[in-house]
């Protein structure tokens, strides 16, 4: 890099790039740590608009031409799920570090190719599990690291919407998204749980998916109206995961379900204590223990929310600057993808999937 600021390229100029990645990189640019060199999108108007908004000097409709720029050291891949693999492979093979949005890819087969490319090229591959950087998750991690929960043997994860089928993008199309709520929002709580449990390896998975609302035209769309004729993903899923170390977890995720309210929560049960984490509400964070002969519930005070995308991008940049391993590596994204694949396979076959 010759001591120059890090050079960043953006592949995909949609909502996640405009609302999260680019503003976060822009803050680091203001501190002199990096330059946003180029943005690429197949839609030239979108790329040009992003370039104008964030004062980016180069605009491309072909990201491969962007990757040829020597001044680019790393890229964010902000494309739909079905376009995660190829741009990531091309960027790694072009000698660039990559931050790819979650999930790592459409499936674990694609994810494995990406991880292998990262290992082969020696370039860093970070998956956009931004919720790990939330204040709640980081707080629970500190308690776990101090032994306050002991051995965590079970977790319960909920990523549930009462009426939240997306009315935009490709979220309802399996060939482009890979799945529905499981791969879109369930992926966040699943990653949080596995990470806080110490990254155990999955042993087996049983799962069931349902399509009860997405194909109907009489269902309320609180996130815009979708086209029921193009709905090809699940709208609810439940799964039970066993890990090689004997721990297990339950995962539930929905775009639509007749429940009380939306949820993005993880509950952990350990031998010395338990914890409840609500990714939407820091005030609900609690620790449960038995102390001095009494059962105690501990609440947290003085916690303040942060922009988790800013934190993940700052961590990505710092890993490159200091030549350290990224905190949410491709290998972690691959474990999550393997579990998601197994849930879908288990639902289709009616059998438990053993790894």
The string of pLDDT tens digits covering residues 238-274 is 999 999 999 999 999 999 999 999 999 999 999 999 9
Answer whether residue 50 is part of any domain: yes
Which residues span the domain enclosing 172? 133-309+337-354
Q: Which residues contact residue 140 at a Cβ distance below 8 angstroms, ignoring those fewer than 6 apart?
A: 196, 268, 275, 277, 285
Answer whether residue 329 is part of any domain: no
Answer whether residue 330 is part of any domain: no
Distance from C-alpha of 122 to C-alpha of 118, rounded to nearest angstrom: 6
With bands split at pLDDT 50, 70 and 90, how would you rate the model's confidence at 281?
very high
Residues 74 and 18 in one domain: yes
| Domain closes at, from 131, 164, 187 | 131
Residue 329's pLDDT is: 98
Residues 290 and 170 in one domain: yes
Residue 323, pLDDT above cutoff 90: yes
Residue 2's pLDDT is: 56
Residues 203 and 101 in one domain: no
pTM: 0.96
CATH number of the domain that residue 204 is part of? 3.30.360.10
| Domain closes at, from 99, 131, 163 | 131
* Mean pLDDT to the nearest integer, 7-34: 97
Q: What is the mean pLDDT of the chain?
A: 97
Q: Are 252 and 265 in contact (CB under 8 A)?
A: no
**Tens-place pLDDT, residues 115-170:** 999 999 999 999 999 999 999 999 999 999 999 999 999 999 999 999 999 999 99
Residue 3's pLDDT is: 75
Residue 229, pLDDT above cutoff 60: yes
Residue 180's pLDDT is: 98
Residues 120 and 78 in one domain: yes
* Mean pLDDT to the nearest integer, 22-46: 97
- What is the tally of structural domains in the chain? 2
């Amino acid at each position: 890099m010759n001591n120059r600021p890090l050079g960043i390229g953006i592949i995909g100029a949609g909502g996640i790039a405009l609302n999260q990645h680019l503003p976060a990189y822009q803050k680091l640019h203001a501190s002199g740590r990096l330059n946003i060199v180029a943005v690429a999108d197949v839609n030239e108007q979108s790329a040009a608009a992003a370039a104008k908004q964030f004062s980016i000097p180069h605009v491309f409709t072909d990201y491969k031409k962007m990757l040829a720029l020597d001044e680019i050291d790393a890229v964010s891949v902000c494309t739909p799920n079905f376009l995660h693999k190829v741009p990531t492979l091309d960027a790694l093979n072009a000698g660039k570090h990559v931050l790819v949005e979650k999930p790592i890819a459409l499936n674990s087969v694609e994810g494995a190719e990406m991880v292998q490319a990262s290992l082969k090229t020696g370039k860093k591959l970070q998956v956009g599990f931004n919720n790990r950087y939330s204040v709640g998750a980081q707080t629970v991690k500190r308690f776990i690291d101090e032994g306050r929960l002991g051995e965590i043997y079970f977790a319960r994860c909920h990523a549930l919407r009462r009426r939240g089928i997306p009315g935009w993008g490709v979220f309802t199309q399996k060939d482009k998204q890979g799945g529905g709520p499981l791969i879109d929002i369930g992926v966040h709580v699943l990653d949080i749980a596995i990470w806080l449990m110490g990254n155990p390896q999955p042993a087996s998975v049983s799962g069931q998916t349902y399509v009860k609302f997405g194909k109907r035209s009489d269902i309320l769309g609180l996130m815009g109206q979708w086209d029921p004729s193009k709905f090809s993903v699940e709208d609810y899923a439940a799964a039970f995961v066993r890990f090689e170390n004997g721990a297990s977890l339950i995962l539930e995720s929905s775009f639509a379900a007749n429940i009380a309210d939306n949820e993005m929560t993880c509950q952990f049960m350990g031998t010395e204590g338990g914890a409840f984490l609500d990714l939407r509400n820091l005030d609900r964070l609690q620790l449960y223990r038995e102390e001095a002969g009494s059962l105690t519930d501990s609440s947290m005070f003085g916690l303040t929310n942060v922009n988790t995308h800013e934190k993940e991008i700052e961590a990505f940049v710092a890993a490159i600057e200091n030549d350290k391993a990224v905190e949410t590596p491709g290998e972690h994204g691959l474990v999550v993808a393997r579990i998601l694949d197994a849930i879908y396979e288990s639902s289709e076959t009616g059998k438990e999937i053993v790894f």
